[in-house]
Amino acid sequence: MSFTDTMLSDTKAVSSTPRYRPRIAISLGDPHGVGPEVVLKSLADPRMLRLLQPILVGSAHVLKTHANKLGFRDLRIRVVQQVPDEVPETGLTVLDIARGEKPEVHFGKITREAGALAMESVAAAVDLCKEGHAEAMVTAPISKEAIAMAGYKDPGHTEYITRRSGSDRHTMMMVSDGLRVGLVTAHIPIWDVPKQVTREAILDKIGVIAGSLMRDFGIARPKIAVLGLNPHASDGGLLGREESEVIIPAITQACEEGTLVFGPFPADSFFGIGAYRLYDAVLAMYHDQGLVPFKTLAFESGINYTAGLPIVRTSPDHGTAFNIAGEGKASAGSMRAAIYLAIDIARRRSRLLEQKKAG
């Protein structure tokens, strides 16, 4: 198969008109998973390179191994040790953090070495953004188990990137077209959720989401729906006190401060009746409350966006898919959507910066 034989299934963001091409750092994820595969498939259409300047961050040898497995015969890889002034519209530019070494690729295996390489790639991509060499970053999937084996204490991408970027406020927000779902709590045991669903935490996440919707999505007066914590949003206090004692006071305060916030809504029926279509974002109390309905509605087009960071970071909403790694079966839809969103937000932030400079 020729590398350019793999064409985009969704060309809505592709235009033949010359446009500003933001520089996007794309970390390759776990080398034993589908990360390199979906990156390659996403960039296989030459029209994609008219939209952005991609800097792939990871091991050039790992990328070539995945390309060979996919049968991409004519893939041209340009290996660099520092970011060039201009990324060409042909071939793929790889910032080789393996520095010429050739890590072994064991498709579907969870190893300490793979976890270390994946996180070194993420760290390098964050630094490119912090130093102004890239305007956004897209992260291919990592294995939480592998990075723990490598000695990393952060439970995932989001927490590590937040800390390394120097931010103290963020919200994990899942995005697919007009559906946006943010979380009060993310990667913690369900046992700890009620203790961390506080008035202050809810207000903080509402503020982060509202700010991101205005700055990154261009929504002047965003409307945010808030879900309850308990079944049926507690049924007036019969099934819990968090709604009356924590969530409603937080919503009331946010409204008094000028944000359009509504709820709390029962989580079970909210998505089923399509109520999310009435709002610009939904704030869920915990991971599965928000992500189960989101992935049901938008699994192959979903994007994990980290709202509130000083840098732009997106990611596909799926994992490493070790069970199909190396088989060429992984869908690139979510990765492609993540790249599109990174381009859109990078362009929007660039325009805002130009407007600010112009006075």
List the chain residues with pLDDT less than 50. Answer: 7-18
Together in a domain, 10 and 126 = yes
CA atoms of 73 and 91, how far apart (whole Å): 12
Together in a domain, 155 and 221 = no
Together in a domain, 141 and 246 = no
Among residues 269, 291, 308, the one where a domain terminates is 308
Cα angle, residue 149 at apex, residues 143 and 154 outer, rounded to 5°: 65
Count of structural domains, the chain: 2
Together in a domain, 152 and 248 = no
State the residue range of the domain holding 249. Answer: 168-308
Together in a domain, 163 and 278 = no
Together in a domain, 121 and 249 = no
- Return the pLDDT at 232: 87
Together in a domain, 317 and 190 = no
**Cα-Cα-Cα-Cα dihedral of 153, 158, 159, 165, to 10°?**
110
- Return the pLDDT at 100: 79
Together in a domain, 194 and 330 = no
Together in a domain, 273 and 321 = no
pTM listed for this prediction: 0.91
Together in a domain, 150 and 188 = no
Q: At 12, which CATH number?
A: 3.40.718.10
Among residues 308, 325, 346, the one where a domain terminates is 308
- Return the pLDDT at 283: 98
Q: Provide the CA 23 distance to its chain's centre, in angstroms.
A: 17
Together in a domain, 40 and 140 = yes
Together in a domain, 16 and 74 = yes
Distances (CA, A) of 83 to 53, 76, 238, 244: 11, 17, 59, 53
| 43: number of Cβ within 10 Å | 23
- Return the pLDDT at 237: 75
- Return the pLDDT at 233: 77
Cα angle, residue 70 at apex, residues 113 and 174 outer, rounded to 5°: 65
CA atoms of 229 and 238, how far apart (whole Å): 13
